[in-house]
Amino acid sequence: MHHLDIAGLEARYGEHTVLSGIDLTVGRADVIGLIGPSGSGKSTILRVLMGLLPPVAGMVKLDGEGVNYADATQVRRLRDRIAIVFQQYNLFQNMSVLENVCVAPVKIKKRPRKEVEEEARALLAKVGLGDKLKRYPDELSGGQQQRVAIVRALALHPEILLLDEVTAALDPELVSEVLDTIRLLAKEGMTMLIVSHEMAFIREVASRVVFMAGGKIVETGAPAQIFDAPEHARTRDFVSKILRH
Amino acid sequence: MSYTLQFGQIWPFLPRLLEGAVVSLQIAVLAFCGGLLIGTACAGVKSFGPRWLARIVGAYVVFFTNTPQLVQIYFLYFALPDMGILLSSFMAVVIGMTLNAGAYLTEIQRAGFESRRASEMEAAEVMGFSRLQQIRYVILPHVAKVLFPPLSNQFIIVTLGTSMAAVFGVEELTGEAFNINAQTFRSIEIFSVTAGIYVVLTLAASVGLALLGRVLFRARTELI
Ligand SMILES: Nc1ncnc2c1ncn2[C@@H]1O[C@H](COP(=O)(O)OP(=O)(O)OP(=O)(O)O)[C@@H](O)[C@H]1O
Ligand SMILES: [Mg+2]
Q: Return the pLDDT at A75.
A: 94
Q: With an 8 Å Cβ cutoff, are B123 and A136 in contact?
A: no
Exposed (0-12), middle (13-18) or buried (19+): which is A34, by Cβ within 10 Å? buried
Inter-residue contact A218 to A21 (CB < 8 Å) = no
Instruction: Please indicate, yes or no, if residue B135 is contained in any of the structural domains.
Output: yes
Please report which confidence band the pLDDT of residue B223 belongs to, taking 50, 70 and 90 as the band edges: very low
Taking any CB pair shorter than 8 Å as contact, residues of chain A touching chain B are: 50-52, 76, 79-80, 83-84, 86, 88, 90-95, 103-104, 107-109, 136, 152, 156
Give the list of residues 6+ apart from residue A64 with CB closer than 8 angstroms, or none: A1, A2, A5
CA distance A107 to chain B (A): 9
Total structural domains in chain B?
Answer: 1
Q: Tell me the residue range of the domain where B68 lies.
A: 9-217
- The pairing of strands A216-221 and A208-213 is antiparallel
Q: Return the pLDDT at A244.
A: 67
Instruction: Please indicate, yes or no, if residue B2 is contained in any of the structural domains.
Output: no
Give the model confidence (pLDDT) of B2-47 as tens digits: 777 788 877 888 899 999 999 999 999 999 999 999 998 999 898 8
Please report which confidence band the pLDDT of residue B168 belongs to, taking 50, 70 and 90 as the band edges: confident
CA A32 to chain centre: 10
Instruction: Please indicate, yes or no, if residue B106 is contained in any of the structural domains.
Output: yes
Instruction: Please indicate, yes or no, if residue B107 is contained in any of the structural domains.
Output: yes
pTM of the model: 0.73
Average pLDDT on B183-205 reads 90
**Biggest CA pair distance of chain B:** 78
Distance, CA of A79 to CA of A130 (rounded, Å): 27
Instruction: Please indicate, yes or no, if residue B32 is contained in any of the structural domains.
Output: yes
- Residue with CA closest to ligand 1 atom 18: A41
Which amino acid is located at A16 in the chain?
H
Look up the CATH architecture of domain A4-244: 3-Layer(aba) Sandwich (3.40)
Q: Enumerate the β-bridge partners of residue A16.
A: A13
> What is chain A's Cα-based Rg?
18
Which amino acid is located at B171 in the chain?
E
Give the model confidence (pLDDT) of B147-156 as tens digits: 788 888 899 9
Q: With an 8 Å Cβ cutoff, are B128 and A83 in contact?
A: no
Give the model confidence (pLDDT) of B58-98 as tens digits: 999 999 999 999 999 988 888 888 888 888 889 999 999 99
Kindly list the domain boundaries of chain A, sorted by start residue: 4-244
Q: Return the pLDDT at A184.
A: 85
Whether residue B220 is predicted with pLDDT greater than 60 in this model: the reply is: no
- The pairing of strands A4-13 and A16-26 is antiparallel
Q: Return the pLDDT at A211.
A: 96
Give the model confidence (pLDDT) of B90-140 as tens digits: 999 999 999 999 999 998 888 777 766 688 989 999 999 998 888 888 877
Q: Return the pLDDT at A46.
A: 96
Dihedral sign for Cα B184, B189, B192, B193, please. Answer: negative
Instruction: Please indicate, yes or no, if residue B222 is contained in any of the structural domains.
Output: no
Residue ranges in chain A whose pLDDT is less than 50:
none
Instruction: Please indicate, yes or no, if residue B181 is contained in any of the structural domains.
Output: yes
The CATH number of the domain holding residue B67 is: 1.10.3720.10
Instruction: Please indicate, yes or no, if residue B142 is contained in any of the structural domains.
Output: yes
Overall size of chain A counted in residues: 245
CA distance B149 to chain A (A): 16
Whether residue B224 is predicted with pLDDT greater than 50 in this model: the reply is: no
Residue B104 DSSP SS3: helix
Exposed (0-12), middle (13-18) or buried (19+): which is B39, by Cβ within 10 Å? buried
Exposed (0-12), middle (13-18) or buried (19+): which is A191, by Cβ within 10 Å? buried
Inter-residue contact A161 to A185 (CB < 8 Å) = yes
Overall size of chain B counted in residues: 224
